[in-house]
Chains A and B, each alone.
Chain A
Amino acid sequence: MSENYAPKSAVGRWFNDRLPLLNLIYGHLLPYPTPKNLNYWWTFGGILTFCLVTQIITGLVLAMHYVADADLAFASVEHIMRDVNYGWLLRYIHANGASLFFMAVYIHMARSLFYGSYKEPRELIWIIGVFIFLLMIATAFMGYVLPWGQMSFWGATVITNLFSAIPLVGESVTNWLWGGYAVGSPLLTRFFTLHYLMPFLIFALVILHVWALHVPGNNNPEGINVVQGSQDTVPFHPHYVVKDMFALVVFLVVFAGFVFFVPNLLGHTDNYIEANPLQTPEHIVPEWYFLPFYAILRSVPDKLGGVILMVSAIAILAFLPWLDTSKVRSAKYRPLYRQFVWLFFANVILLGYLGAQTADGLFLIIGRIATAYYFAHFIVILPLLGYIEKTKPLPKSLSEPVLSPEERQMKAAASGAGA
């Protein structure tokens, strides 16, 4: 495939002979063999790449107008909203873009969980993905601090105080992070610097993520191995380029709906009040995409314990390929896992709901049960299922499940004759 590729123009050939960049891009984007049965859940990889590029471009232009200083930050964001040409549009794209980025990444991760894409030989793709997710969390959190509203300030205070739970050195670590004795200008400036840097680190990890993906090739809804270049695969272009484009357009409709009709729906009104270190808002809530983890943090009555559990909730994902002991990938052929994975999704959504409520009474009790179940899924249910579950027989090829009995017979006869 890519070895046989030669650019059509003389300039292209001259360039490619000296630096085979076009060859590389061609091989990974055009003839790359892809399972022929990928459904729409597989389009979120492309959508996520689009989200990352959108955040980088809008972020770049916003940074031309933003001032990272505690006295000026809030006013500079209002300046972007009111004075800068199309500033309102760029900021709303950037702010809602972060939310949609997380929406897409959660769907992308859920797809991987459902179809077992994290299993051998794709463990490293999944682990790189967990690191991308971690960097996304850090980037989104720091970005939310930059407008320097009440939620920015108090969110930063609560989250940076998590480090004070570290025994012995906690206070020194938090003072080091703050560059002072409380959240203030030094922290804002360093958050801005890191918020600018991290998307490029994410971009680098995305390249590794795709590179690692293109070694074994895509998983597929049947979860079986397909031979690259066999009848079970089709070239990425035009088949999945077109499918990804269509999905992206539908995604953009939703995106535009948020930006133009309800740009503040996912934000918090308190963030339009300038940060006030003397007054804590009545009810501090993080952005919606952090709520499940926030619920886990609050379900523990101990400060250090809560922090450890919240960090573990994300870290445990990296061990998933080994916690899931079943060799069968797709939930389609795992009757028990299929039910448990839906229960897991429901439980995460429940945690998200609880994260937005006050942590007392019944909410706290349900929060503790949901937290326990979140971890039980990984350390009890998944390891056990591999041993007790009776999986359904896997098809031999991607064509087999969709062939009629006659066609199946003909195919078997043909392969028998061939042998």
Chain B
Amino acid sequence: MSEKQVTRRNFLYVTTGAFAAAGAASLAWPFVDQMNPDASVKALASTEIDLRPIIPGQSITVMWRGKPVFIRRRTQAEIDEAKKVNLADLPHPEADSDRAQNPEWLVMVGICTHLGCVPLGQKGDYNGWFCPCHGSHYDTSGRIRKGPAPTNLEIPDYVFLNETTIKIG
């Protein structure tokens, strides 16, 4: 075979194709992006909660971005239990002090990191949370101890606005 000649026609053929492909790709983006969380969903991104009605040993569940958030006022026993755990024993090592800004208040997203079920409180082998779907056990700091979940319960961004109010998100 003789060497192929690159003609003007070949050049036009390739450039036309390339422009059509780039145009189609850029036009595809709006069709993909329309499925992402929209402005009205993002607008509900933060929630303020009054902590005064909660006594030690009690938890409440609030909704934030359509997800349940557990707010637990932990007892001293639970705090001690969470603190004395050897980090090397954890599948996902995190110190309790990194998970609770104020040790008395544990704030975390109440969604099992396995497949998204809501764990049940004060249940399971570690007296923390237990997910009934596929059997993940979390401790009093919401850290995964046993079962298929890969990571600890997620801690959302939150700040204490004052002694008795927090803002999540």
Contacts and interface: CB of A to CB of B under 8 A. Distances in A.
B135 A180 contact: no
Contacts of B134: 298, 359
**Binding site of B, secondary structure by majority: helix, strand, loop or mixed?**
loop
B118 A176 contact: no
Contacts of B54: none
Interface string B56-94: 000001010111100000000000000000000000000
19 contacts: A154-B133, A158-B133, A162-B115, A175-B37, A179-B35, A180-B41, A180-B65, A181-B66, A182-B65, A182-B67, A182-B111, A186-B35, A186-B38, A277-B118, A280-B131, A284-B133, A300-B148, A303-B149, A359-B135
Given A182-B66, A186-B41, A280-B133, A157 B115 contact: yes
Given A162-B115, A181-B65, A278-B118, A302 B36 contact: no
A298 B111 CA distance: 18
Nearest to A160: B116
B36 A279 contact: no
Contacts of A302: 148, 150
Interface residues of B, number: 27
Interface string A281-322: 111100000000000001011110010000000000000000
A17 interface: no
Contact of A360 (B32, B66, B111, B135): B135
Given A158-B115, A301-B148, A303-B148, A180 B132 contact: no
Contacts of A394: none
Contact of A280 (B35, B41, B117, B149): B117
A85 B13 CA distance: 60
A181 B41 contact: yes
Question: Interface residue tally of chain A, by bracket?
Answer: 35 or more
B153 to A, nearest CB: 14
Contact of A175 (B32, B36, B63, B150): B36
Nearest to B151: A303
A33 B148 CA distance: 54
A184 interface: yes
Contacts of B35: 176-177, 179, 186, 190
Contacts of A180: 37, 41, 65-66
Contacts of A300: 148
A298 B67 CA distance: 24
Contact of B116 (A161, A190, A306, A359): A161
Contact of B150 (A157, A303, A359): A303
Interface string B143-155: 0000011100000
A179 B38 contact: yes
Contacts of A303: 114-115, 148-150
- Central interface residue in B111, B115, B135, B148, by most chain A CB within 10 Å: B115
Given A177-B35, A179-B35, 16 more contacts: A157-B116, A158-B116, A158-B133, A160-B116, A164-B116, A176-B35, A176-B36, A180-B41, A181-B65, A182-B111, A186-B37, A190-B35, A278-B63, A280-B118, A284-B133, A303-B115
Contacts of A175: 36-37
Interface string B34-63: 011110010000000000000000000101
Nearest to B41: A180
A164 B132 CA distance: 19
B2 to A, nearest CB: 39
Contacts of A278: 61, 63, 68, 118
Nearest to A306: B148
